[in-house]
Amino acid sequence: MKKLLAIAGRKRRRPIMAKLVVIPIAVAAVLVGTAAAHSTSGAGRVRTLRTATAVSGLAADGSRVAVSTFCGAHVYELFAWNPLRRSVVSMAPRRQRRCYGASTGEGIWEGSIAGRQVAWVPYAGGNSQQAWLVTATTRKPLSTRRLTETKNRNTGDGVGDWVGNIHGDGPLLVFNTWTVCEKSEYTDSCPEGTPPGYHIYNENLWRIAGGRKRLLVASPDELTVLAAAAGRILVQREDGSLEIRRGADGNVVRAFPFRPGEVRAAVLDASELVVLDRASGLHWRVYDPVSGEQERVLPAVARVVSADVERGLLVYTVGWRRFVHVLRLADGRRTRFTAPIVGIAHENPAPVVAQIEPSGLFYSYQVRSTGRVRFVPFNQIGLGR
């Protein structure tokens, strides 16, 4: 269900999919410092993780959250934080997290956590970027395993090979590999018969289990993973439709028809599928993921940049604002939390990122050049089911 981050989004994809956090690469160049993290607690078991550089993304599952940071003086960081146990685990050896000053960015492109298993995509490059997928567990955080070969793509237009769309929930951890091509009067890197434009093809769906990858579905076109929850995988197809597939074998169990461009975001948990639909205005459409029935429609605001859902509560942020919004799907009642962003010396601070789990609400924010992740227990969010 949870996704860590995506530094610049998927090239030529529909904008803002589930768990997608957009963070401009330019921010990384101005963040410096020695990376470290420690956990503090406040009244009522609200707890805060402090990082030496700004948080670039987070992904939660259960009581754990994976937290990545921008490059400091020499390295970026990836932590697994459990606020209930007050433990912080640093993932991957330092030599694998070094920053070399790559001209178009470096660090962690995206990642996710499922139970104790963490998977992430390191990247670096100049005119072309290289990326690959790595995994490790919180029990053996320094014993990393590389699961893909290096994927190379053009930094400017995204043409080339990709790995990403990592989502996890409990024992289920999945990701995509795919290729982006361009066909025009000047270039043609697409399969024969492809119409002009940018296209995604050969998108494969993989599952990580026991530190190894297993192919679930090989698709000739788009099969984008948007979320994973309760043993199910939510994907989007080239025609805009959504499918819920079994995590065990990748087979389709439910389909939801949408046209291309209608779905702005989609999130999934055990009891709700929530789709941000712009077909006739902007609305949250709530479905039963088992029966496929639409249960209710709620108005949505523009510029939603991240969203998550758990036990009837939808959480999202809007643009660069420092508010975390929580919406109760049953009746539309809302509340919000304010991230205390202070002392930002540059124009674009790292945006607030939010996730929600049965344990509670997680959200990140920036304090000067350092980062924070705050945890609010579920019973203190203020909205019951």
Which pLDDT belongs to residue 307?
A: 81
Q: CA of 223: how far to CAs of 17, 219, 373, in Å?
A: 13, 7, 32
What count of Cα atoms within 13 Å lies in the side-chain half-sphere of residue 199? Answer: 19
Which pLDDT belongs to residue 2?
A: 54
Q: Is residue 118 left, alpha or beta, with left meaning phi > 0 and alpha meaning psi from -120 to 50? A: beta
* Radius of gyration of the CA atoms of the chain, in A: 19
Reported pTM: 0.89
All domains of the chain in start order, with CATH: 25-380 (2.130.10.10)
Backbone dihedral angles phi then psi of residue 33, each to the nearest 5 degrees: 140, 165
Which tokens in the block code for residue 106?
A: 């470096």
Which pLDDT belongs to residue 3?
A: 55
Which pLDDT belongs to residue 258?
A: 96
Ranges of residues in the chain with a pLDDT under 50 are: 5-35, 43
309-347 confidence digits (pLDDT tens): 999 999 999 877 789 999 999 999 999 999 886 766 555
* Contact assessment for residue 136 and residue 118, using Cβ atoms and an 8 Å cutoff: yes
Which pLDDT belongs to residue 105?
A: 86
132-175 confidence digits (pLDDT tens): 999 999 999 999 999 999 999 999 999 999 999 999 999 999 99
**What is the Cα–Cα distance from 146 to 134, expressed in whole angstroms?**
4
